[in-house]
Every structure is written in structure tokens, then in C-alpha cells.
Structure 1
Amino acid sequence: MRATCPAEPSAHPVRPGSGARAPRTGARTTSRRARLLVGLLGAVLALSGCGLRLETPPPEPLVPDAVEVVRSRAVDDALALAAGAAELTEARAAAAAPEDALTPVLADLVAFSTAHAEQLGGVYDSGLPEPTGTATATPSLAPVADPAALLALVATTADTARTDADAVEDGQLARLLASVATARSGLRDRLGAAIGSTPPEPVDPAPSPAATVQAGPLTPDTYADLVVAEDEVGYAYEVVAAKLSGDARAAAQADAAAHRARAEAWAREAGVDGTAIDPRRTAYALPGGIDDPAVAVELGRTLELRLTVAYASAVAVAPAGARTAVIEALRTADAEAAAHGAPPVAFPGLPEQQPGADAAPEAGPAEPAGGADG
């Protein structure tokens, strides 16, 4: 026989024949501990969503590269011009100043400069909060107190845009900046005339392509476009001059000589002057009715505007640091288009930015008349 020890009396006796097992105290204790750990873990996770987490350093703002520095500077200058012109406009209105030659110039300064800032991409926003206690940056440009100060600001920002257009690596940004610089040069001249003040001369003005060409290595197609564009305008003015007399004829002859000289300069720079691949032609197609003075004036305006497109396109493909001549040629073509009655625009040479973009002049030359090569 096997001896057995009597069991301790149970608080919950098991009835005979029920088939139930006696409770396992050790298993119950382990289960309670597991549930307790799970509960504690859930509480920790819940509290972590209430701000109890490890601190991480704030994201660092992006450091602007050279292209972004140029773009931002051009935007700041445009906004300064728009604000200065708006302030003067409001001051004149408060003083009940009559509308005069200054009124449309101020209006164009506001409109053009606002459009420039928009097309340049506006003020960069990193999306990061400003550090607390940081003082507001001091504007780099002096506030505008009177029209003379505004004139100085327009001249300064025109020079800055022109310099940046020559130096920036991005060709498309260079094209846009060259157009902005050209528009500011026109506004500078108009503002100076409106207030009876001689505008400041551009800093280190570029020589005319008629005297020397400094555009550097352009593509053969770009050279050909510039040679033919200038030569075509020269030919058109020669035809117009032949139908005029007196001062009008002398003016047309002077225009023709200037454009022929520029075509010659570009041909020499390209190395095609006097060669079999010289793109200049004996004659170019001209519109009918050129005997009508109005048609002749419209022709000169159209061809000068076409030159602005050709030179703006050349800026985009010219290498950085070698765009001075084509930028200056763009400014000259825009000024000559204005002399022939073309209205001022915010983006000279950029047909896609004009209000009537579909009707903007093409950059390429017209088809030749007679099919003879020069």
C-alpha cells in the first residue's frame, strides 16, 4: 500500500465526480503579472503621445546656392521698386498732385516690378518657424523719399540685374534677368525724362557690337540668327530710306548703317564673314504697301521687336561671364523699338510673357526674297 497524506481543507471543496481540477495558484500569479506588464506598457505608449518623448533638434534651413542668391536679390529689388513707386503714387494722391508725365511711369514701375517678382518666383519661404527673439532684417536698399531717390534706385537695380544676368550659371534665369534689366533701363530713361533729370549712366557700360563683339562662343545657329536678324533690319531700312526724303530719309539711312554694322560684327565674331557659309542674303521679304509711311513705321517697330527676341534667346545660350554684348544689344534693340513707337513692356524680348503672346514677333528671320545668297 502507498501511504498518502491528508490534503488541507479547501475553501472551495471539489465535489466528487465533478471532473474539475484543483486550482493552480502559480499559473494564476504569472497571468496576473503578464496582464500588469501589458497594462503598464500601454500606459507608457499613451503618455508618449501626450508630449513625453525624446527631444530632437529642429530641422536646419536650406543654405541657398549661388543661383538662389541671385534670384532672391532680383526679387528683393523688384519688391523695393514696386513699394517705392507705390509710396510716391500715394503721396502724390494725398497732395492732390495733377496727373503729368510722371504718373504713367510710376504706374508702370509698380506693375512691371510686381510682375518681375512673380516671374522670378517670389520671396523664398523655407516653411520653418522664425527663431524667437530674432530681429527683423534691415532692408539692403534705402527707402525712397522722392522721385530723384527712386531714379537712383531704378538705375542701381538695373545695373545689378544686368551684372547678375551675365554671371549666373542658369541660362534661363539669365534670359529673364536680362529682360528685367532691360525693362528697368527703359523705366530709368522714362523716369529721368519725366522729372527733368539725367539718369545715372550704367556701371561699366558694354561696348556696342558694332565696335567690338564680346559674346564669347555662341552656337553656330545662334550666330547665324543674330547675323541675319541684324542684316534683315538693315536691308529693310535701306528700302524704306529709298522711298523717303529729307530728315526722314537720313534717319532711315542711319538706322540701316547701324544694323548692317552689327550684322558685320557678328559675322566676324562667328568667323563666317566673307565665307561660303555667311548667312547674309541679298534681299529679304518685306510687307506690301511699304510706300505708306504708316506701314514703314510699323515695319521698323516689328523688326526691332524681333531683334529683342533674338538677343534674349542668345542670352540663354551664351556662357556665363560672356553675355555682356548680347545683353547690351537687347537693351539697344528695345530702346530703338520704343523710338519707333513700341509701347513699354515688362519683359522685353520674352514673347511668352507678352499680353498678346500669340501675336508676338518670332525670333527667326523672314524668308528671303529672290532666293539669292550674299
Structure 2
Amino acid sequence: MQPPSRRTLLALGLLTTLTACTGGSPGHVPAPAPDPDTPARLRAIAATDRLLGGYERLLAAPDAQGALLRPLRDETARHRAALLQGLPTAGPSPTGTPTEAVPTTAGLAALERRAAESHLADLAEVGPDLARLLASIAAARALHAAALGDPTPVTTPDDRDPTTPAATAAAVPALQGVLGAEHAAVYGYGVVGARLADERQRADARADHAAHQARRDAWQRLLAAATATPTPAAGGYRLPFPVTSPADAGRLAVHLETRLTTVYADLVATAPAPYRPQAATALRESAVRALRWGAPATAFPGLPG
């Protein structure tokens, strides 16, 4: 009896199965390639678990400030759930996880700040989606630290103008987009300041206007370094709603900063890695300003939903 031909094996659907097996061993299924983002996810989850342990420890104290701590704890739990989504299996519940002693809100605030900085340290090494998530969570951690009484700025590694020409050229479309958003913000803050009556708010508006001018100038420098012509500001911009009162002015400031958190979260994901630190810093700064102008708290600044 003649052995089956190649055509017969193909007809039976056997040849592909046999040749796909490593070393020709029937039934062998190659292991999936490891996800290079997994170590960074696990580090972020570990930092989140330390925070959750700290919140639970403080909430168990007789004099716990529950109205302050519970919303922050709940947002931290949402961060953990989002980080777990990139892993093949869910991690264990952090309940009962050993944690550093965090006897005060000041200690917990410092832990939030250190966790934010650890997330940002991984930005250059991870894929676009995880980079955007880490930048958003780091911004939320900075807001948590401020709510807990620690105004110390979060330090973003290498938050300087990138100088690699290839990276700069590749980033031109994304940089033109954020430059356009900053032009609109500079214009918008001119309207905000003109409609405010309270001097303290006017001072805040002037400071925020100057901050957006500085950020605009930074993107213009980077575009010029790439021999690209920065997109100029328009002669005027359509406002999202009429601004005729101080309340409208505050709403406009919230709108401008909230929109910029989305713009910068997207930049973290779309621009080359050398630009992620600057984008993450701008995301965090806009999230802080949005909250100060009255935006509702969010667990994921800059992310949809």
C-alpha cells in the first residue's frame, strides 16, 4: 500500500497540523510570546496595592477622615482594575496585602506621589496604550497627593525638549495638533480673564494664561527644530458656549483644561517615546488646573469614559 500523498494530507487537513508542531511532535502548541508590557503592569499594580493597603489602614482608624479617603481609595481600586485588564489572568485581591505603615494622611500623600513617579519612569519602555494609561493614573495620583495635603510637584523623568532629529520629525503631525490646542487655550484664557470679577480668580487666570503661552512656545521650538513651520494661531476661535459672566468664564476654563487633558493623553500614546514625559507633564498640569476651576473629579484624567 502506497503512503498517502501530500495532496491527500492537505485534503484531510493534516499536513498543516503536523508541520505546525514544533519538532514535529503531535499536539504541541507553541507558547504565546510574553507581553513586554507585563513587568511594567506588575510594578504599577504593586504600587497600587501598597496604596490600597494604606487607605484601608487609615480608614480603619477611629478618627478616619472617611469623606476624604473613601473617594480616593475607590479611584485607586479602579486604577488597579484597569491595570489588570492587560494581564492574562486577574491578580489576587489586595485585601490583606502587607503594606508600609502609613499612619498619617501626609504619609499616604507621599506614597501617592512616589507611585506617580514610578509610573512615569516606565513611560518610555511600554506600548502606546499602557503609556497613556500610566500617564493618566500618574495625573490622578498627583491630584490625590494634593487632596491629602502634599503640594510637592510630581517629578517627571527627562521632561526636557527631545533633541533626536529622527524622533522630532516623526512627531511633527502630533506636535502640530497639540500646538493648535494650546493656541486655542491661550485665546480662551484671554476671554476667561476678561469676564472674571474676583481678583484672586483673575490672578489664577493670568497665571494659567502664561503657562499655556509657555507650553505653546515649547511646542513651537520643537517644531522649528524639526525644520517644520509651526502652525500659527487663528485670528479667532469659536467658543463652545456664550461667555457673559464670571460663572461662564469658570466653565470655559474647565472646558479648556479638560480638553487639553485628552489632547495630551493622546499625545502620550501617539508621539515617539522621547515626547512622552513632556506630554505626561502637560496632562497632569491641565488636570490640576481643571480641578481647581471646578471640574468634577475623575479617576482617569484625559481618558474617555
Quickly name the TM-score band, shorter chain normalised: 0.7 to 0.9
Aligned-partner SS, 1:335: helix
Check 1:202–1:260 CA distance in 2 against 1; reply closer, same or farther (3 A cut).
Answer: closer
User: Residue 301 of structure 2 is aligned with which of 348, 352, 355?
Assistant: 348
State the alpha-carbon separation in 2 of the partners of residues 202 and 275 from structure 1. 32
Check 1:202–1:240 CA distance in 2 against 1; reply closer, same or farther (3 A cut).
Answer: closer
Q: Which residue does the alignment assign to 2:18?
A: none
Q: Which residue does the alignment assign to 2:133?
A: 176
State the alpha-carbon separation in 1 of the partners of residues 231 and 265 from structure 2. 22
* Aligned: 1:231 with 2:194: no
* Aligned: 1:167 with 2:150: no
Unaligned runs of 5+ in 1: 1-60, 128-138, 354-374
State the alpha-carbon separation in 2 of the partners of residues 277 and 149 from structure 1. 44
Check 1:246–1:296 CA distance in 2 against 1; reply closer, same or farther (3 A cut).
Answer: closer
State the alpha-carbon separation in 2 of the partners of residues 321 and 275 from structure 1. 18
User: Residue 74 of structure 2 is aligned with which of 108, 111, 115?
Assistant: 111
* Aligned: 1:148 with 2:129: no
User: Residue 213 of structure 1 is aligned with which of 137, 161, 164?
Assistant: 161
Aligned-partner SS, 2:37: helix
Q: Which residue does the alignment assign to 1:84?
A: 54
User: Amino acid of the residue matched to residue 83 of structure 1?
Assistant: G
State the alpha-carbon separation in 2 of the partners of residues 345 and 268 from structure 1. 32
Q: Report the number of matched residues.
A: 266
* Aligned: 1:71 with 2:24: no
Aligned-partner SS, 1:323: helix
Check 1:70–1:288 CA distance in 2 against 1; reply closer, same or farther (3 A cut).
Answer: closer
Please say if residues 224 and 230 of structure 2, whose CA atoms lie closer than 8 Å, have aligned partners that are also in contact: no
Check 1:141–1:86 CA distance in 2 against 1; reply closer, same or farther (3 A cut).
Answer: closer
Shift of 1:141: 5.4
Shift of 1:250: 4.0
Aligned-partner SS, 1:344: coil
State the alpha-carbon separation in 1 of the partners of residues 255 and 83 from structure 2. 27
Please say if residues 222 and 314 of structure 1, whose CA atoms lie closer than 8 Å, have aligned partners that are also in contact: yes
Please say if residues 83 and 110 of structure 1, whose CA atoms lie closer than 8 Å, have aligned partners that are also in contact: no
Unaligned runs of 5+ in 2: 1-30, 91-96
Please say if residues 261 and 302 of structure 2, whose CA atoms lie closer than 8 Å, have aligned partners that are also in contact: yes
User: Residue 315 of structure 1 is aligned with which of 246, 268, 273?
Assistant: 268
Please say if residues 272 and 278 of structure 1, whose CA atoms lie closer than 8 Å, have aligned partners that are also in contact: no
* Aligned: 1:284 with 2:254: no
Q: Which residue does the alignment assign to 1:334?
A: 287
Q: Deviations over 1:346-365 (max 9, x none)?
A: 100002x3xxxxxxxxxxxx
Please say if residues 156 and 281 of structure 2, whose CA atoms lie closer than 8 Å, have aligned partners that are also in contact: no
Please say if residues 195 and 249 of structure 2, whose CA atoms lie closer than 8 Å, have aligned partners that are also in contact: no
Shift of 1:162: 1.3
- Give the greater-gyration-radius structure (CA): 1
State the alpha-carbon separation in 1 of the partners of residues 135 and 73 from structure 2. 19
Identity %: 34
* Aligned: 1:202 with 2:154: yes
> TM-score under structure 2 normalisation?
0.75
Superposition RMSD in Å: 3.3
State the alpha-carbon separation in 1 of the partners of residues 212 and 89 from structure 2. 48
Please say if residues 178 and 315 of structure 1, whose CA atoms lie closer than 8 Å, have aligned partners that are also in contact: yes
Please say if residues 54 and 99 of structure 2, whose CA atoms lie closer than 8 Å, have aligned partners that are also in contact: no
Check 1:222–1:103 CA distance in 2 against 1; reply closer, same or farther (3 A cut).
Answer: same
Check 1:123–1:323 CA distance in 2 against 1; reply closer, same or farther (3 A cut).
Answer: closer
Please say if residues 175 and 316 of structure 1, whose CA atoms lie closer than 8 Å, have aligned partners that are also in contact: yes
Please say if residues 62 and 126 of structure 1, whose CA atoms lie closer than 8 Å, have aligned partners that are also in contact: no
> TM-score under structure 1 normalisation?
0.63
Q: Which residue does the alignment assign to 1:325?
A: 278
User: Amino acid of the residue matched to residue 77 of structure 2?
Assistant: T
Check 1:221–1:295 CA distance in 2 against 1; reply closer, same or farther (3 A cut).
Answer: same
State the alpha-carbon separation in 1 of the partners of residues 34 and 112 from structure 2. 26
State the alpha-carbon separation in 2 of the partners of residues 106 and 283 from structure 1. 43
